[in-house]
Amino acid sequence: MDAIISAAELLSALDDLTILDVRYQLGGPPGRPQYEAGHIPGARYVDLDAELAGPPGAHGRHPLPDLEVFTTAMRRAGVSDDRPVVVYDGGQGWAAARAWWMLRWAGHRDVRVLDGGLPAWTGPLETGESRPAGGDFTARPGALPLLTAEDAAALASTGVLLDARAAERYRGEVEPIDPVAGHIPGAVSAPTAENIAEDGRFRSPDELVKRFAALGVEQGTEVGVYCGSGVSAAQQVLALAVAGIPAALYVGSWSEWCHDPTRPVSTGPTP
């Protein structure tokens, strides 16, 4: 099943899909005003912080949400078990991928991300708030692999653990968000920006296969991904899916890892 959908494909199938707008910017203004000012017709706004993540704490800045909260939010947005879902954001792909991953992990079988996000959309926009009929989605968690901190540490030795953050954060040269700089020992630097072509869309499957092969990831490789808080890493899991490579997500990511001072930290350009 395809993990992404083009704007042209979406335009031709609007009436047959549930569409979610997950515009989000770390440290920026909320996405709802942007949504209300103009969104793809029929789309419902989903709040990443409140509905796709739990409160920040020892398990990271964007831990898994309470399943009841998530299920209620998805039903309110019109998500049903037997109706395909398309998710989009402002173009970066991180927030949309987090929604894609959450729904897929929770058992929805048909979820795709709009390639290029809203900037790629050439169809009409509507304003205000769409009010779709309530959905019947039921969460069945476990459909996609999920890593704990212990799992991530082990995978860095037995498979490939990708760090999706910017390279300078991986190296420990800067850390603008979390209290400790560096990376999980054994992890490989793999910034998410390199998954995207100049036009803002994902690179082709062949290009992504080559990119990940250069990082040590091939078919059959056990691979996991983390970032700062499990959001941009979801985009990397999505890119791997486009390349035909299944991957596990460490949702707690660096913000959980560095919360425990007993966990080791590496710095520099190498694993």
Domain boundaries, the chain: 4-120, 149-257
Give me the mean pLDDT over the 120-139 stretch: 93
- Answer yes or no: is pLDDT of 57 > 90: yes
Burial class (CB in 10 A: 0-12, 13-18, 19+), 237: buried
Residue 39 in contact with residue 126, Cβ under 8 Å? yes
Write down the architecture of domain 4-120 according to CATH: 3-Layer(aba) Sandwich (3.40)
Tokens of 98: 């987090």
**Span 16-39, pLDDT tens digits:** 999 999 999 887 778 999 999 999
**Span 174-218, pLDDT tens digits:** 999 999 999 999 999 999 999 999 999 999 999 999 999 999 998
* Whole-number Å distance between alpha carbons of 270 and 167: 11
* Helix then strand then coil, % of the chain, to nearest 5: 35, 15, 55
**Span 111-123, pLDDT tens digits:** 999 999 999 999 9
To the query of whether residue 258 is one of the catalytic residues in this protein, the response is no
With 0.85 as the threshold, say if the pTM is over it. Answer: yes
* Whole-number Å distance between alpha carbons of 65 and 241: 23
* Whole-number Å distance between alpha carbons of 221 and 67: 30
**Span 208-236, pLDDT tens digits:** 999 999 999 988 999 999 999 999 999 99
Q: Could you tell me what percent of the chain has a pLDDT over 90?
A: 93
Average pLDDT, the chain: 96
**Span 230-249, pLDDT tens digits:** 999 999 999 999 999 999 99
Fold classification of 149-257 is: Oxidized Rhodanese; domain 1 (3.40.250)
- Answer yes or no: is pLDDT of 105 > 80: yes
Confidence at residue 131, expressed as pLDDT on a 0 to 100 scale = 82
Give me the mean pLDDT over the 150-154 stretch: 98
On the CB side of 41, how many CA atoms lie within 13 Å of its CA? 11
* Whole-number Å distance between alpha carbons of 100 and 106: 10
* Whole-number Å distance between alpha carbons of 20 and 137: 14
Confidence at residue 122, expressed as pLDDT on a 0 to 100 scale = 93
Confidence at residue 1, expressed as pLDDT on a 0 to 100 scale = 64
- Answer yes or no: is pLDDT of 46 > 70: yes
* Whole-number Å distance between alpha carbons of 186 and 158: 10
**φ/ψ of residue 206, rounded to 5:** -65, -40
Question: What single-letter DSSP state applies at residue 88?
Answer: E
Same fold, 4-120 and 149-257: yes
Q: Which of 161, 227, 231, 247 is flagged as catalytic?
A: 227
- Answer yes or no: is pLDDT of 5 > 70: yes
Burial class (CB in 10 A: 0-12, 13-18, 19+), 58: exposed
